């Protein structure tokens, strides 16, 4: 049985239904037809007219992958090993990376938002690339139509291998949206990963994975570059917010639940071993853990390339992988892919003694990951590790070839292949991979290198076969609009947001405030000043003053006033202190090393505690060995947040002051806690959720997934690799802001979650 459906102005998709088997999806423009055999239909992907094993959906994914890999040229396998740079849909000038359409900008070309860019056509056909990283999309309908255009193009060339489109996490909350505003449009909104951790609830996290997977598949996305299970053992790390916190066991349990939710297909959607048409590959990151950068610095930047282990806790960082991601409860067994981090895990290679980026380390990838822990899924590098650095220590978009800076781009690819890596993140060109292949042929012979290539090809193809993409990679735009952001999914995300809020302080039981239907209270919500600065990419951000909450939403709960004297209470919304990434161009230009502290307090900070000599360094003349920041000073970009709290306290007299603080890292609250009656912290929240908790419609139940440090001394003296080793802050009520602490309206929470994890 065959039917055709139009995809807007893109190619028509023809569906062929097997009575006892999968429905085939074929583009009418690709030239691919079906083969009929034994009363069944199969896609003739290479147009040979013969049912080769890789086309036969009755065989296992492994058998099909092995057959197809054996038919591929080195060029085709090299392309399969590529993972594209970030792609915006459409690729307009306002996006991170723009591209062209028939030689013109998107704005000038007249292209439809789902049309393929010149770059995409080139890397699909010329470079044989099949793994695409998608960033922002205009709408679910556009994403679906773009996916179909990509898949039709891929189907039309070569062996007909479908694209494996992927995404970084994309379910964060827009703070000023009503919880149902995205129904039929925006994707469902959830807390950030650290907020999911604050629920201490693996079942909730698994439910997130199940919903997110359905939305991903409706958008044409089949791999999630997540979860990030690094244990965030240094509180200064700027990727702290993307983790499940600093505790190994909590990260293990939540990571396992997340992956089971994403990867598991059930009932009619299952193809084999839990995999199927509802599954999304999970690429767990970052092996062997990236949360112990020296001084809290991050390895996206040359200034933060070294992870250190002064407490000897390297093995603790492996647990979320070895006990969680590789030991799933669901039938898929283990995460389908692993991404090593950029860092050089300093002095951890006990076999070869090499201090190189994790993906380049044969010890970490082959001896440890592959052999000791038996992992045989895909290993994909983080983005741009084979590219040359640009010489700027604080550049986000620089190449990141840490520890192998002296090698050529092709030599880096070859070293990665020898280490056991299968795929190269952020590389659109197959040329360097083919050069690496020829290096292997010269050193080991054609047969050996061909076998090495095929081994990676089988892993990569298996992840595509078991999702059913070879039979039908197409999605239906109208269906996508109905699935993505549907009310039930939005409601589930909203309820998770409510459960993620942590109440730290509630002096004199200020909360809950009276509900608006009982008494309309007057609220003073001061505007928040945001100073100019630089974003992650080094771009200047202008100063501005903003309403921290959407006034139209807040006014549904309270009468708003600009006069503190008229207010019944004040609500001050702030964010945790932000002092940058630990490197200062100004310090370097003045003759210093460039290395400065990362501060978790609002007021200017001078490091009087810490190391005189860094544990790791770079002996090259272009770098420094001693990266100590002792004696250096730093200012936060948002010291004004502290001033806002203190100023509001002065204006309010004895009336309640409530502080709502968005956290992306642990913070030192000692500077304002004594003057606050209430402190709530959250990790990405819609305004409506915060307001409902204040009014008591929902009782707070979140717990801290990390410690809140007493002061900067304990931050400086903790070991970067050791979890939960700081002195936690004690407030004016005698409560200690330690891991797994939180209040509800009755007092300190002491439930099964606390007993399990504390």
- CB burial readout 511-542, b (16+ within 10 A) else e: bbbeeeeeeebebbbbebebeeeeeeeeeeee
Q: In angstroms, rounded to a whole number, what is the distance separating the alpha carbons of residues 232 and 724?
A: 10
Q: Which of 382, 394, 641, 687 is catalytic?
A: 382
C-alpha distance from residue 360 to each of 381, 398, 424, 634, 658 (Å): 9, 18, 11, 34, 49
Measure the CA–CA gap between 443 and 435, rounded to whole angstroms: 13
CA distances from 145 to 49, 151, 381, 588, 676 (A): 29, 10, 29, 49, 51
Q: Which residues have C-beta within 8 Å of that of residue 543, sequence separation ≥ 6? A: 529, 530, 531, 532
- How many CB atoms within 10 Å of residue 394? 20
CB atoms within 10 A of CB 373: 14
Contacts of 671 (CB under 8 A, 6+ apart): 601, 602, 603, 642
- 750 catalytic per annotation: no
Local structure of 327: helix, strand or coil: coil
DSSP notation for 532-571: -EE-TTS-EE--EEE-SS-HHHHTTTSEE-S-GGG-SEEE
DSSP bridge pairs for 662: 575, 682
Element containing residue 450 per DSSP (H, E): helix 446-465
Cβ-contact 521, 558 below 8 angstroms: yes
Q: In angstroms, rounded to a whole number, what is the distance separating the alpha carbons of residues 51 and 225?
A: 34
Residue 166 vs residues 76, 156, 218, 425, 512: alpha-carbon distances, Å = 20, 21, 12, 12, 42
Q: How far is residue 548's CA from residue 45's CA, in Å, rounded to a whole number?
A: 54
| Residues whose CB is less than 8 angstroms from the CB of residue 699 and which lie 6 or more positions away in sequence, other chains included | 512, 693, 744, 745
Q: If DSSP states are collapsed to H, E and C, what string results for 672-709? A: CHHHCCEEEEECCCCHHHHHHHHCCCCCCCCCCCCCCE
Token readout for 435 is 């050069």
What distances in angstroms separate CA 430 from CA 411, 427, 578, one per listed residue? 14, 8, 40
Hey, which residues are catalytic here?
A: 382
């Amino acid at each position: 049985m065959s039917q055709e459906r139009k995809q807007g102005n893109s190619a028509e998709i023809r569906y062929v239904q097997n009575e006892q088997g999968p429905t085939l999806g074929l583009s009418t423009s690709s030239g691919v037809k079906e083969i009929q055999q034994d009363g069944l239909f199969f896609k003739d992907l290479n147009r040979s007219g013969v049912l080769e094993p890789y086309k036969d959906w009755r065989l296992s994914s492994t058998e099909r992958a092995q057959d197809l890999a054996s038919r591929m040229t080195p060029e085709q396998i090299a392309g399969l090993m590529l993972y594209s740079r970030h792609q915006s849909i459409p690729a307009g000038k306002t996006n991170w990376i723009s591209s062209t359409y028939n030689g013109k900008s998107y704005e000038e070309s007249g292209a439809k938002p789902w049309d393929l860019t010149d770059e995409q056509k080139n890397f699909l056909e010329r470079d044989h690339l099949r793994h695409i990283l998608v960033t922002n999309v205009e709408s679910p309908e556009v994403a679906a139509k773009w996916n179909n255009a990509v898949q039709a193009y891929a189907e039309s060339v070569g062996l007909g291998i479908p694209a494996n489109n992927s995404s970084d996490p994309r379910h964060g909350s827009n703070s000023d949206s009503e919880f149902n505003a995205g129904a039929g449009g925006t994707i469902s909104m959830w807390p950030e990963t650290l907020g999911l951790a604050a629920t201490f609830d693996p079942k909730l996290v698994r439910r997130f994975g199940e919903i997110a997977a359905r939305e991903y598949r409706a958008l044409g996305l089949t791999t999630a570059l997540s979860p990030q299970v690094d244990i965030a053992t240094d509180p200064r790390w700027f990727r702290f917010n993307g983790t499940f916190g600093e505790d190994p066991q909590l990260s293990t349990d939540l990571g396992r639940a997340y992956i089971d939710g994403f990867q598991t297909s059930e009932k009619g959607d299952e193809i084999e071993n839990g995999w199927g048409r509802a599954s999304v590959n999970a690429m767990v990151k970052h092996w062997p853990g990236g949360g112990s950068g020296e001084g809290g610095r991050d390895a996206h930047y040359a200034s933060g390339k070294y992870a250190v282990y002064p407490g000897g806790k390297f093995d603790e960082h492996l647990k979320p992988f070895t006990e969680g991601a590789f030991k799933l409860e669901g039938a898929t067994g283990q995460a389908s892919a692993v991404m090593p981090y950029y860092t050089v895990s300093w002095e951890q290679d006990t076999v070869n003694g090499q201090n190189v980026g994790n993906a380049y380390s044969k010890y970490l990838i082959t001896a440890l990951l592959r052999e000791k822990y038996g992992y045989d899924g895909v290993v994909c590098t983080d983005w741009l590790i084979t590219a040359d650095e640009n010489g700027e220590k604080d550049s986000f978009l620089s190449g990141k070839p840490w520890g192998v800076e002296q090698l050529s781009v092709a030599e880096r690819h070859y070293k990665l292949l020898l280490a056991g890596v299968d795929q190269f993140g952020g590389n659109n060109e197959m040329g360097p991979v083919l050069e690496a292949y020829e290096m292997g042929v010269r050193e080991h012979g054609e047969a050996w290198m061909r076998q090495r290539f095929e081994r990676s090809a089988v892993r990569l193809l298996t992840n595509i076969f078991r999702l059913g993409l070879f039979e039908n990679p197409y999605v239906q735009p109208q269906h996508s609009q109905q699935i993505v952001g549907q009310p039930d999914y939005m409601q589930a995300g909203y309820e998770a947001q409510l459960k993620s809020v942590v109440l730290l302080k509630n002096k004199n039981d200020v909360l809950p405030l009276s509900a608006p239907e009982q008494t309309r209270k007057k609220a003073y919500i001061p505007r928040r000043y945001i100073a100019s600065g630089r974003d992650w990419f080094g771009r200047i951000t202008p100063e501005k003053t903003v309403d921290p909450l959407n006034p139209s939403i807040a006014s549904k709960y309270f009468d708003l006033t600009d006069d503190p004297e008229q207010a019944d209470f004040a609500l001050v919304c702030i964010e945790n202190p932000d002092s940058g990434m630990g490197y200062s161009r100004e310090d370097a230009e003045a003759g210093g090393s460039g290395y400065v502290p990362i501060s978790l307090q609002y007021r200017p900070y001078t490091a009087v505690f810490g190391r005189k000599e860094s544990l790791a360094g770079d002996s090259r003349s272009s770098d420094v060995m001693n990266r100590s920041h002792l004696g250096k000073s730093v200012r936060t970009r948002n010291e004004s947040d502290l001033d806002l709290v203190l100023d509001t306290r002065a204006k309010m007299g004895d009336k309640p002051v409530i502080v709502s603080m968005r956290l992306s890292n642990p913070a030192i609250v000692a500077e304002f806690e004594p003057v606050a009656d209430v402190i709530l912290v959250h990790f990405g929240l819609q305004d409506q959720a915060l307001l409902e908790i204040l009014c008591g419609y929902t009782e707070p139940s979140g717990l801290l997934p990390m410690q809140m440090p007493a002061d900067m001394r304990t931050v400086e003296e903790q070991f970067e690799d050791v979890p939960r080793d700081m002195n936690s802050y004690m407030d004016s009520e005698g409560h200690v802001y330690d891991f797994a602490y939180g209040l509800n309206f009755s007092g300190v929470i002491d439930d099964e979650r606390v007993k399990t994890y504390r």
